[in-house]
Amino acid sequence: MDNKSVRLAALGTAVPPCKITQDEAARLARFHYKELLTPRSMDLLTQVMMHPSIRSRHFAVDGKENITALKTEDPDARMERFTRFAVTLAESAARKALKTSGVSPGEVTSVFVNTCTGYICPGISTYLVEKMGLKPNVFAHDLVGSGCGGALPNLQLGQSHVCLRPGNVALCVAVEICTATFQMDNDPSLLISNAIFGDGAAAALLWDRPSGMRLTGSASLFDPEHRDDVRYVYKKGQLHNRLASQLPKIIVKKVPDFIQSFLGDHGLTPRDIRGWALHPGGDKMVIGLQEALGLSDALMRPTREVLSEYGNMSSPTVLFIAERALQENPEGPGPMLLCAYGAGLSMHAMLLEK
C-alpha cells in the first residue's frame, strides 16, 4: 500500500470547560500581578491581551475561581493537573473522532499522542488504552519536543502505520496544557505567552478506507539557527516559554518559501489550494503569512476564527483549524494544506486532496 491510500477519516476537538475572555484575563492580571510586574511590563501584557485577534481562551483549571492558583501552584500540583486534564481532553477529542468515523475502539491498531507542555511516564497514550478500551496489543507511542508543530509529525507517523498493513487504523492525538507551563515575570516572552496561549486537544483518525481526504504528501524542514528563538527552557526545574521578539518576522520569512517549495514538488502553487489550515502563532504571523502567500480573507477565516475563540493552543491548533475548514466544506474544499511551525525551528506541511 502506498502513502496516498491513507485518508483522514475524522477529526475531533476538545477544550476544558473554563472559558475566560481576554477582558477577564486582563483584569485578573492587573489585580494579582501589580506588585510583581513593572508598569512597562503590565502595559505590554494588557496591550497584548486587549488585541482584538483573540477574544477568549480555555484554561485547564477547576473553575474560574482557581485561575489565580496558577500564581502559587507548586510543581507537584502542576504535574497532577497536567496529567488529569491532558488525559481527559485527549480522550474527549479521540472519542469524538471515533464517533464521527463510526470506528469502534477495538478497531484502532495504533495510537500516537504528542505534547510539549508536560512529561509523564508512562505516557498519555497508555492512559487512552485503558480509558477508551483500546486493544491491549495496540501500538501506542508518545512524542515530545515538537512544540506548536507537533500534530503534523504525529500524522506522518499515523500515515506510516496505516501503510504497514491493510485495515490498520491510526488514532493521532495532539494535546497541550499550556497553563501547565505558566510563569510570570517581566520577561517579554512570558508576558506574551501568558496573553495568547490556551489549552486544548485534537484527534485525527486515519485509515485506508475509501472515504475522507487523502493524505497525498508531507514535508518537514528544520532550521537550528533559530532554535533559541522559539523553545522551552528549564529554570529551577520548570518550563519557561521563550519567544524571540523577531519570531513573527522569522516565520514570515521562512514559512512561505517552505510552503511554495513543498507545493511545487507536487505541481501546485498557493493559488491551487482551496483550504488552508495555518498555525496562527499570533496576529502578526497571520497577517504576514496571508500577505506573503497572497491568500484571501475567506481562505484565512478558519485560522482567524480559531485564534479568536481559543487563542494559540500550540500543537492542536492546526487540527482545530482543519476541522473548521472541513465543516465549511463537508465534501472537502479541494486541495487542502496544513502547515505548522514551532520549536526547533521546525516547519511541517501536509497536503490533503479529495
Nearest of 209, 213, 211, 201 to residue 95 by alpha carbon: 201
Residue type, 179: T
Contact present, 8 and 209 (Cβ < 8 Å): no
Residues 347 and 289: their CA atoms lie apart, in Å, by 14
Q: Express each pLDDT in 78-113 by its tens digit.
A: 999 999 999 999 999 999 999 999 999 999 999 999
CATH class of 3-207: alpha beta
Nearest of 110, 197, 196, 210 to residue 157 by alpha carbon: 110
Q: Express each pLDDT in 254-312 by its tens digit.
A: 999 999 999 999 999 999 999 999 999 889 999 999 999 999 999 999 999 999 999 99
Question: How would residue 194 be classed by pLDDT, with cut points 50, 70 and 90?
Answer: very high
Pairing of strands 110-115, 139-144: parallel
Q: Is the pLDDT of residue 332 over 80?
A: no
Nearest of 205, 143, 146 to residue 172 by alpha carbon: 205
What does the block give as the cell for 242? 521563550
Q: Is the pTM of the predicted complex or chain greater than 0.85?
A: yes
**Which ranges in the chain are annotated with CATH 3.40.47.10?**
3-207, 213-353
213-353, CATH topology level: Peroxisomal Thiolase; Chain A, domain 1 (3.40.47)
Q: Is the pLDDT of residue 330 over 70?
A: no
Contact present, 237 and 297 (Cβ < 8 Å): no
Q: Express each pLDDT in 182-192 by its tens digit.
A: 999 999 999 99
Q: Is the pLDDT of residue 67 over 90?
A: no
What does the block give as the cell for 160? 506510516
Range 77-80, long-range pairs (CB < 8 A, 24+ positions): 78/180, 78/238, 79/118, 79/120, 79/180
Mean pLDDT of 191-213: 96
HSE of 25, CA atoms in CB hemisphere, 13 A: 29
Question: How would residue 243 be classed by pLDDT, with cut points 50, 70 and 90?
Answer: confident
Q: Express each pLDDT in 136-186 by its tens digit.
A: 999 999 999 889 999 999 999 999 999 999 999 999 999 999 999 999 999
